[in-house]
Amino acid sequence: MPLSTLSSLAGALILTPVALSQPALAPAASVCSSLWDTLGSTLVKSSGPQYNATAAGTWNLFNSLDHPTCIVYPQTASDVQVAMKSIYEQGARYAVQAGGHSAMIGWNSVTDGILISFENMTRVSYDADTNWISLQPGLRFSDAEIVLEPHGVAIIGGRATDVGVGLLLGGGLNFAAPLYGWSADRIAEMDVVLVGGELITASATNEHSDLFRALKGGANRFGIVTEFRIYAAKTGRKDEKRWYGGSITYPGSANQALLNATVNYINNVVDPNAGAVIALNTFNISASDATILYVFYLGNNLPQHIFGEFLSISSTSQSLSPLSYFDMAFLVPGNARGNGQQFGGSSWLGDQGMFLNGYNRFLDFTAAFAHPHLVASSLIISPILVSQWEASLSGPNAMGNPGVPYASINFDLTYAPGDAFRPEDVDEGFKSMLAETPPSHGLPLFISESNASQDVFETYADLPFLKATYAKYDPTRFNMEHTDGPIGL
């Protein structure tokens, strides 16, 4: 072969190199790369002190073990739109974190996905002309109440100081709920980013009234709320002691008497000025079998005809005094981080046999599984009076009014410090116990205090409405398939 021919072939080889294909980025990595370009490194982080503090800062230790591909720290609703649009287009997994106080694994954290943290969106303001409170989702209720107290108004929020305003989407229970209603039922309107990135405003009277209703109890399934506007409760300033109450501590030996008193309270009390919550600790390392009763009345004493049965039971200590609503909001301190948490829920009519059976099933579970895994197991009973539904200022919510008084039940487990995972036998035993203590027919579960395995939406009064609303606003089922949350839609 002539030398010239060899030279030509060599040149041809040089002119046509073999192309090397680059592996495509995983969806989450692709979203993070895109958001670094559009939002910048101040709002999007994949490492560093702020990233570490956010990822590890959840109340539930089990959620603090996740490793988001990146964390987005929006400052405006438009930032959330940009993030959600990219997440949707790339098909990435995601989670949203407000106060971080969820006991459900994955509802406010994610691995191999994008976490949207609202810690930069904490504005709260009060408009006296409309009597509306505007607040962003990164707030915790205690921080909001400090700002609002000088105006003599409050948000009807949670019952512990570190609970975030994301509780509003779960319905929301409060010590004064019989008077003011479910926390969500005081919402006037919400700004919502849908899964595709569209920003809308939903209220009880506009074209998105279906979404508005679904959000009030739909948890994280129907959209990302970037601002709530809420009807303020004119509760007074902290020097106005309009309420009387506090806490009473009982020995574990009083639990059956307390259960009977609770049933009688549920069946007979109709005064919306009365409030009560009972926490029976079936196992607690620091205070074995101690039970705490929280009682309140809008007045200058605890009326005997309402609270007499509770007051007649021998207690170990009492802390009762005149209180402002501000005092009540700070009565229960936020729980320390560092422990795994697990919730389970039920709803019971006022029947002594039902309460005793449920309590005994929980005792059986605790006896079988408490050591060495649990620090505490508690049965928390929240009486739901009929007035709580009637007090709504914004129409029906997602749950649906059952029309009868009952109790919302929270089985609350706290795991030993450092336990990074729930033991399989404890988890299965807990689920079996929940199956043996189901809600009474026609009663809704409280989604914020239920187990992730429970089909809470199935207990709501109008599941077809919720399914239709979800399909309307998320027709590709993106939220259900790309983030963790309640099952059943």
pLDDT tens across 202-240, in order? 999 999 999 999 999 999 999 999 999 999 999 999 999
Looking at the structure, tell me whether residues 261 and 194 fall in a common domain: no
Domain boundary at 237, 259, 280, which?
Answer: 237
Q: 274, 252, 255: which is closest to 265 by C-alpha?
A: 274
Average pLDDT, the chain: 92
What proportion of the chain, given as a percentage, has pLDDT over 90? 87
pLDDT digits (tens, 9 = 90+) for 162-202: 899 999 999 999 999 999 999 999 999 999 999 999 999 99
- Residue 115: name the closest of 215, 220, 227, 219 by CA: 220
Does 22 reside within a domain?
no
pLDDT at residue 55, as a whole number: 96
Least confident of 9-18, 25-34, 140-149: 9-18
Same domain as 365, residue 293: yes
Whether 449 and 369 map to the same domain: the answer is yes
User: Do 166 and 52 belong to one domain?
Assistant: no
pLDDT at 285: 66
Q: Is residue 8 part of a domain?
A: no
Owner of token pair 């979203």: 31
**Looking at the structure, do residues 224 and 284 belong to the same domain, yes or no?**
no
Q: What is the pLDDT confidence band of residue 418, given thresholds at 50, 70 and 90?
A: confident
Question: Residue 184 and residue 167: Cα distance in Å, rounded?
Answer: 8
Q: Of 83, 117, 151, which residue sits at a domain end? A: 117
Q: What is the pLDDT of residues 240-256, one digit of tens each?
A: 999 999 999 999 889 99
What pLDDT score was predicted for residue 18?
38
**DSSP for residue 378:** E
Distance between CA 258 and CA 260 in Å, rounded?
A: 5
Are 97 and 229 contained in the same domain?
Answer: no
Number of domains the chain contains: 3
DSSP state of 222: S
Which CATH number does the domain housing residue 221 bear?
A: 3.30.465.10
Lowest-pLDDT range of 6-15, 27-36, 229-238, 398-407: 6-15
Distances (CA, A) of 53 to 45, 57, 139: 12, 6, 17
176 with 205, same domain: the answer is yes
**Identity of the amino acid at 54:** T
Phi-psi region of 299 (alpha: psi -120 to 50; beta: other; left: phi over 0): left
The structure tokens listed for 92 are 């990435």
Domain boundary among 91, 117, 143: 117
3-class DSSP state for residue 164?
Answer: strand
| Identity of the amino acid at 298 | L
Quick: pLDDT tens for 16-75: 333 444 456 799 999 999 999 999 999 999 999 999 999 999 999 999 999 999 999 999
Is 483 within the bounds of a domain? no
**Full domain range(s) for residue 276:** 243-459
Summarised one tens digit per residue, pLDDT across range 247-285 is 999 998 899 999 999 999 999 999 999 999 999 888 776
The strand pairing partners of 374, in sequence order, are 415
Question: Are both 260 and 218 inside the same structural domain?
Answer: no
In a domain, 449, yes or no: yes
pLDDT band at 287 (very low <50, low <70, confident <90, very high): low
Is 470 contained in some domain? Answer: no
State the Cα–Cα distance between residues 54 and 225, nearest whole angstrom: 19
pLDDT band at 6 (very low <50, low <70, confident <90, very high): very low
Q: Are residues 159 and 279 in the same domain?
A: no
Mean pLDDT to the nearest integer, 400-428: 94
Residue 355 inside a domain? The answer is yes
- pLDDT higher than threshold 70 for residue 438: yes
The whole-number pLDDT of residue 288 equals: 58
Residues 347 and 449 occupy one common structural domain: yes
Please tell me whether residue 98 adopts helix, strand or coil conformation. coil
Neighbours of 192 (CB within 10 A): 23
Average pLDDT (90-101) is 96
pTM of the model: 0.92
CATH of the domain at 59: 3.30.43.10
CATH number at residue 299: 3.40.462.20
Structure tokens at 463: 């599941």
Instruction: Give percent above pLDDT 70 in the chain.
Output: 94
Residues 92 and 189 in one domain: no
For residue 79, what are its two tokens? Answer: 């930032």
Return d(Cα 372, Cα 415) in angstroms, integer: 9
- On whether residue 471 sits in a domain, the answer given is no
Q: Which residues contact 487 (CB under 8 A, 6 or more apart)?
A: 452, 453, 455, 457
> First CA to last CA across the chain, in angstroms?
74
pLDDT at 289: 66
In a domain, 313, yes or no: yes
Are 323 and 363 in the same domain? yes
